[in-house]
Structure 1
C-alpha cells in the first residue's frame, strides 16, 4: 500500500505542495506542556500542542517533536488522526488547512483546498474531526463534511447537510450499520446518510435522526454513543436516544479505540467498555494541578493530555501515580522577550500593547535554555511579578539576571533562583501616581542594560524620573529625569529600548518622543523626532548601535539610520536617513512603512531585523543587500510577526521569538576576538565523510580585521580572504563572517583540493599579530 501511495505522490508532485525539512540549520524550541489532542497510532501516542506535535513511542519511551522545522505550517492545530492502513498522520487546522505527515518521510503534504475555498467563510473552515472508513477519511468541519481519498491524496465530495443544503457545524462523524452519522452543533441534531449512496452531496439524501446540539458521536463494538451539549451522553439505538449519564461539566473530548470509549472533562477522564461499563476514572491529581484536555488508552495505561504537564501517564487499574511525558521545551509558545549569551537563552512571556498597556495583567513564568536543557520557573516562584518582559544578564556576574515587570518592578534571579523583587518598598523604583486611587501600585519597568562600569540602567514608564541606575554590588540607586523633553510623564506611556554608546550616552526609544539621547556625565540631553529630523513617526520601537557607531532606528512605520552619532548633541541638523536600495533598477526605501520590532547587529556588522507582518530580514552591514528574508513560506518561522531577536555571539546562533513560538537559526558567524591566540580550524583533520563543499571548514576565534591565506605545504596559494572584503554569502571560496571564516575546500582554480597538509596563515592587519594553523585534508 505504501508503495502505491509513493508512486501516486511522485506522479502528482506538480499539483501538490510539500513542506520542507529545515533541520540542517534550524531548530525549534516549542512548548509541549499545553496539549489539545491525544491520539494513538503506529505504536505511538501523538499529542498536539498549539502548533506542534510530539510522539511518544510505546516501546522505547522516546519522545520526538514534529514542528515547523520538520515542515509543519505553524498555524493553530485543531485535531489530528493517524491512519494505520496508510501510515499517515493527518493534521487539521483552525484555518481549514490539512497537512499529511508521511511516516519515516521528510515530506509533509500541504492540502489547501479548504483554505482556498472562497464560498466558505474563514470561521467555517475549521477542521473538527477525522474519521477513516475504507480508503477515505471524512473531514468534519464548521461547514459540513468533506471526503478525502487517502489512496489518491485528493478531495472527492463535499456534503453540505444543513437544511436546504446550508452550511452547518459538524463536530464528529462515524460510520455505523451502513450509515454515516454526523453530530451537529447549533441545534442541527444528528443527521445520517447511506454510505453506499452515490449522491450524498444532495442534502435531501440526509435525514435528521434527532434534534438538539451534539458535540460527539462514536461507535464501540455494536453500540453507538453520542454526547449532547447539555452534558448528557446517550446510546443511540435504532435512532432513538437512551440516556446513560449526565456529567457535571461538559466533556471537552470524546474518543474511542477498538475496545474503549474515553470521555474527558476538565477534571476527569472516564474510560468505558463497549457496553458503557466504567473501567477507570482518572481524577486530577493534587500533585499535578492542571486541566485535562484529551485522553487515549493503550493496554493497561491511560495517556492524558493536560494544559500544563504535557501527557500524564497513569495505570488504568489504579490511576493515582502519574508520569509526566513531553519533550524538553519552554513553558509557552508565546515568547515575548529573549536574551541569548554563551550557550544560554532566557525567555519571558509577558506581552503588552504597542502603547505599553499591560492590562489584562498576565501571570506567567520564565524559561531558561542552559546548554541543551530547559529550566522552567513557574509564576508561583516569582514573588507575584506580572507582565515580565526585558531580560538582562549581568556581564560581570553571569549567574545574576534581571527581568523587568511592566507592573511589579524588577525581578532579580541568582543561580536560577528568584531572590528579590525590587519595587517601591526596597529600591529606587517608583510607582506611577493615580490621583483618583492613591493606594494603587503600578511599577512599569521596561528596557534595561548594563554599562561598562557594572551599573544596571532601567527605564520606568509614567514616572517623573524614568531613568534609573542600580549598582548590584552596593545596592545604590540613582534617578534621572527627562524634564527638558517630557514635562508630563503621562505624555509618554513608556520606553522600548535603551542602548549605551562608548561615550556612555544612553540612546532611548520612546513611544511619543522619538529617540532621546542622554549623557549623565555631561548632563546633555536631546531628542530626535518628527519628519524634519527624518523620523516617519514619533513611535520608535527599537534601536541598535553598530560597529561603526551608527544608530539604526526601528519605528512603527519604517527604518532609519543616524549615521553620525558622535556630534549629535552639537549638530542642530542631525537627521535620520532612509536606507535607499535598488529594486529592479528602481530606487526604493528599505522596509518602507514596515513595523520594525527589533534590530540586532552580528559579528560581521550585518543586521538582523524583525518585523511585524513580514518576517525576518538579514541585511548586509549597510543594508544594501538582503542576504536572507525569512517568512513562514520559506522557513520554519511559525509566524511572520517577530517579537524579538537575540544573537548568541559565542556560537552564531540567532534566536527568533515569534507570536506563535520560538525557533533558532545557525547563522555560523560569531563575535571577533581581540587577538589570534585562540584561533583554530575544525574539523581537523577533514575526513572523507565530511562534505567540505557544503558544510565547509570553519576557522574560529579570529580578530576583527584579519587577512587569511591558505597555502599547500609547498607554499602555493590556495585561497585568500580579508575582513570587510570577502564577506560571507557573496560566493567566495574563503569568506569571513565576524569571528569565523569559512572555506569550501576549493582552490584558486575553483577545484576541490587534494589530500594533504595545508597551512592557514592568519595576520591581524591592525596589530600585525600572526598565527599559523596546520590543517589536514583527507579525501
Structure 2
C-alpha cells in the first residue's frame, strides 16, 4: 500500500502541471459526489474535477480540465487496484482513465447508430480487468487490460430504455439495478442479448446495489433489500429515509442518508452511526472515521471541511473585476430565450484577492435572480446587486443595507435589472427591461443613481421597435453614452445623457437597427456592444458581427451604416462570424478582440478583426462549455471566460500597461538549441519602441509593443537566425520619456 500511495501522489503532482500553465480553473469543488480512499490519499470527485487530500501532510491537490482532464460534468468515479488506475465517467458518455502518470481519453463506447438518447455514465464498478459502466440506456463492459470495450447491452423493451443506476460483479455475473428491477447475466458472449437477462423484482425502481462477502444489498430509494441466493430472492431489511448511497467496505456496509451515516455489519446489524447537519451525497468509513461527501461544503473529516478554494457553485453568468477582486453572479434568467426568469439559491461568489467567500441568498433577503454584482469604484466594500425580479440591492461589508425598487427609487414595476456599471463620475447606471411605464406598456429603460442617492429614470421608449421588452448588459463609454443591446427585435439603443444624469434637456437618443441608413445590421436582435481603443463600435447580434466607424459623428449625422468584417482566403472573401450568435465582445490592451459566442466558444481576433489569432472551444481547450455569457480581462492580461458550467481563465501576453514599464520579462530565456518558436518580451509600456542589438551595439531587430508585448522570432533583418550570444533589448515608451533594458541569451 505504501508503494501505491506514493504512485498516486506522484501521478497527481505530475498531472497538476500537465497542461499549459496559461490556463486556470475557477471551478467549485464543494459538491462531493464520490469518495475513494487509497492508503493516506482520499480522492473526491466533484462536478468539474477531482481533488485529493493527503492525510499525512494535509495537502490538497486538484485536477480539472484546466490541467489534465478532458471533460467536465463528472457523473461517475472509481478506482481499480488491479490496474492501479482511476476511472472517471462523464455525463456525455466519455471516460478518462488516469494510469501511469497519463490521462487516457476513451470516447468510443460502441453505441447503436439509431440510439439518440442520453449517454450519461451513472456508475462505474471495477473488478479484476473489468469496469462495468451503468448507463442511461443499459450497461457497457470495458476491459481495462486491453483498453477496449468488450460488450454493450441495451436495456430496451419496445421503444423504452431502462436506465441502469448502479451495477456490481458477483460470482462472474453482472447485477444491474435499473429503474425497472434488478437484472443479472453471466459475463459471456451472450451479454449483449437483453432478452437473456434474468429479472427480479420486476417494476421496482432500484437506485443502489453492492456486494459484501456472500450477500447482495440493494435499495429502492428508502427501502433496503438483501439477497443471499445470488439475486433469486430479496428480503426487505427496513426503511432508511433519504438513502443516497450504499458503500461496501471490507466486512461492512455503509448507508449514506441525507443527514446521517449508518454502518452495518455483513448481517446488516447496526454497528454505529453518525448524524450530520449537512446534506450528504456519499461517504466512506475507515479506521473508526466517518468521511462525509457533502453537497455544499466539500469533504467532512473530524469536524473539519476540506475543499480547494473556489466559488461556491459552478453556475456562473457574469463577472466583475475591480482592484484585483472578483465578483461572480450566477444569473437569474433563462439562457435560451433571455427573457424568462430562472431562480436559484446560490447567492453570489466573491474573491477578495486572497480567498473566495460565499454571500448566501439568505443574507440577501433570499434573492434568487442575481444578474450582476457591481462594486463601487470609489469603495470596494460597497457593492450593488442587480436582480432580474426585485430591483437593486446594496451591500456594505457583506451586509444588506438597502433594496431599491418601484416604491423608493426611479425603478419601475417589473424590477428586472439586466446589467450596468459606474461611469467616471461615480454614477451607477443600470438597465431595466420590462419596465412598466404608465399607459405605454412595457419598455427598456435606464436608471441612474447618483453618488448622493438621487435617482433618474431615462425611458428608451422613443426608440422601441417591438412592443415587448428585452435588454442585455450595456456598454457605458467615457463620453456619456450608454449603449443598450436590445434583443427581441429592438436593435441597439444609444442614449447620450451628456454625463448630466439629472438634466435630461440636453439628452439625445439613437437607434441602430437593420434598416438601411440606420445601421444595416444583420438582425435587430442585438446581444452586445463595445467601443475599442480607436473609437470604433463593435456590435454583436444573434446573426453576426458588425462595426460602426466614427460612431459619434455617424449617429449625429442621422445616416449611418455598419460594416461587415471580411477575411480574404485564397482570393475569396469570407465574413467573420457570419450568422453566429455573439454574446460578448471585449478588447484587450493591444486592441485585439475576444468574442464569446452562444455555441461556438471564443474567437480571438486582431485589432481590425481580419485575422483569427486563436479559437477556444470545449473540444480543444479547458472551456467547460461553448456557451459564453461573459468575458473579462484584468490588468495583468488574464482573460476570464464565464459559462453556465463554471469559469476558466487564460493568461494572455497582452497587458494593460499604459505608459509605464512593469516587470519586463523575456521568455524563453535562455533560448536553447533546437528552439524555433518566438521569443516574447512582456511588461513593456503600451506601444513601446523595442530595439535589439548584439553586445557590440549592432542593431539586429526592432519592433513595436502593442499591449505591452513584443515578439521576436530570433532572426535578423535578413530573416536569418542570429548567432549564439547575449543580446540587449533597449526599450522606450511611445513618448520616449521612459526607458527599460533587459538581456536575452541565445545558444545555437
TM-score by length of 2: 0.88
SS at match of 2:629: strand
Aligned partners of 1:295, 1:481: CA distance in 2, in Å? 55
SS at match of 1:69: coil
SS at match of 2:362: helix
Aligned partners of 2:263, 2:678: CA distance in 1, in Å? 52
Q: Which residue of 2 aligns with 1:148?
A: 142
Aligned partners of 1:402, 1:545: CA distance in 2, in Å? 24
* 1:111 and 2:107 correspond: yes
Counterparts of 1:412-431 in structure 2, within 5 Å, are: 412-426=394-408, 428-431=409-412
* 1:332 and 2:313 correspond: yes
SS at match of 1:445: strand
* 1:525 and 2:509 correspond: yes
SS at match of 1:240: coil
1:172 positional shift: 2.6
Of 280, 292, 299, 1:304 maps to 292
Aligned partners of 1:459, 1:256: CA distance in 2, in Å? 55
* 1:470 and 2:449 correspond: yes
Q: Structure 1 pair 582/531, CA: closer, same or farther in 2 (3 Å)?
A: farther
Q: Structure 1 pair 720/665, CA: closer, same or farther in 2 (3 Å)?
A: same
Count of residues in Structure 1 that have an aligned counterpart in Structure 2: 712
Counterparts of 1:583-622 in structure 2, within 5 Å, are: 583-622=569-608
SS at match of 2:630: strand
Of 415, 424, 442, 1:452 maps to 424
Q: Structure 1 pair 401/753, CA: closer, same or farther in 2 (3 Å)?
A: farther
Aligned partners of 1:769, 1:740: CA distance in 2, in Å? 18
Q: Which residue of 1 aligns with 2:238?
A: 245
Tell me if the contact between 1:42 and 1:87 (Cα under 8 Å) persists in the aligned partners.
no
Q: Which residue of 1 aligns with 2:392?
A: 410
Q: Which residue of 2 aligns with 1:570?
A: 556
Aligned partners of 1:182, 1:680: CA distance in 2, in Å? 60
Q: Structure 1 pair 672/305, CA: closer, same or farther in 2 (3 Å)?
A: same
Q: Which residue of 2 aligns with 1:484?
A: 462
1:737 positional shift: 4.1
Deviations 1:269-326 (A, max 9, x none): 22222221223323232xxxx4211112222222222221122124xxxxxxx21111
Aligned partners of 1:404, 1:691: CA distance in 2, in Å? 54
Tell me if the contact between 1:524 and 1:569 (Cα under 8 Å) persists in the aligned partners.
no
Q: Which residue of 1 aligns with 2:12?
A: none
Aligned partners of 1:21, 1:737: CA distance in 2, in Å? 31
SS at match of 2:619: coil
Aligned partners of 1:323, 1:662: CA distance in 2, in Å? 27
Tell me if the contact between 1:330 and 1:376 (Cα under 8 Å) persists in the aligned partners.
yes
* 1:193 and 2:185 correspond: yes
Of 664, 680, 683, 1:700 maps to 683
Aligned partners of 1:40, 1:689: CA distance in 2, in Å? 43
Counterparts of 1:9-48 in structure 2, within 5 Å, are: 21-41=18-38, 43-48=40-45
SS at match of 1:582: strand
Q: Structure 1 pair 411/506, CA: closer, same or farther in 2 (3 Å)?
A: same
**CA RMSD for the aligned pairs?**
3.1
1:660 positional shift: 1.3
Q: Which residue of 1 aligns with 2:737?
A: 769
Tell me if the contact between 2:491 and 2:523 (Cα under 8 Å) persists in the aligned partners.
yes
1:204 positional shift: 6.0
Deviations 1:320-362 (A, max 9, x none): xx21111111111111001224432211102313655353433
Q: Structure 1 pair 527/258, CA: closer, same or farther in 2 (3 Å)?
A: same
SS at match of 2:207: strand
Deviations 1:655-689 (A, max 9, x none): 0011211100001211141x34x444226995689
Q: Which residue of 1 aligns with 2:619?
A: 633
Q: Which residue of 2 aligns with 1:171?
A: 165
* 1:536 and 2:522 correspond: yes
Aligned partners of 1:656, 1:506: CA distance in 2, in Å? 24
Of 686, 708, 731, 1:739 maps to 708
SS at match of 1:309: coil
Q: Which residue of 2 aligns with 1:121?
A: 116
Aligned partners of 1:257, 1:339: CA distance in 2, in Å? 46
Q: Which residue of 2 aligns with 1:263?
A: 255
Range that drifts further, 402-411 or 35-44? 35-44
Of 56, 59, 62, 1:59 maps to 56
* 1:234 and 2:226 correspond: yes
Range that drifts further, 563-572 or 77-86? 563-572
1:691 positional shift: 11
Deviations 1:515-548 (A, max 9, x none): 1122223322121112423112222111110011
Q: Structure 1 pair 242/534, CA: closer, same or farther in 2 (3 Å)?
A: same
Aligned partners of 2:478, 2:116: CA distance in 1, in Å? 55
Q: Which residue of 2 aligns with 1:437?
A: none
Aligned partners of 1:601, 1:699: CA distance in 2, in Å? 18
1:632 positional shift: 1.2
Tell me if the contact between 2:678 and 2:714 (Cα under 8 Å) persists in the aligned partners.
no
Range that drifts further, 351-360 or 565-574? 351-360
Aligned partners of 2:461, 2:162: CA distance in 1, in Å? 61
Aligned partners of 2:738, 2:92: CA distance in 1, in Å? 59
Range that drifts further, 461-470 or 152-161? 461-470
Q: Structure 1 pair 225/206, CA: closer, same or farther in 2 (3 Å)?
A: same
1:67 positional shift: 1.3
Q: Which residue of 1 aligns with 2:5?
A: none
Q: Structure 1 pair 349/715, CA: closer, same or farther in 2 (3 Å)?
A: same
Of 615, 624, 645, 1:660 maps to 645
Aligned partners of 1:190, 1:600: CA distance in 2, in Å? 54
1:497 positional shift: 2.8
1:207 positional shift: 2.8
Q: Which runs of 5+ in 1 are unaligned?
A: 1-17, 315-321, 433-441, 723-735
1:418 positional shift: 4.5
Q: Structure 1 pair 362/97, CA: closer, same or farther in 2 (3 Å)?
A: same
Tell me if the contact between 2:664 and 2:682 (Cα under 8 Å) persists in the aligned partners.
yes
Tell me if the contact between 1:686 and 1:776 (Cα under 8 Å) persists in the aligned partners.
yes
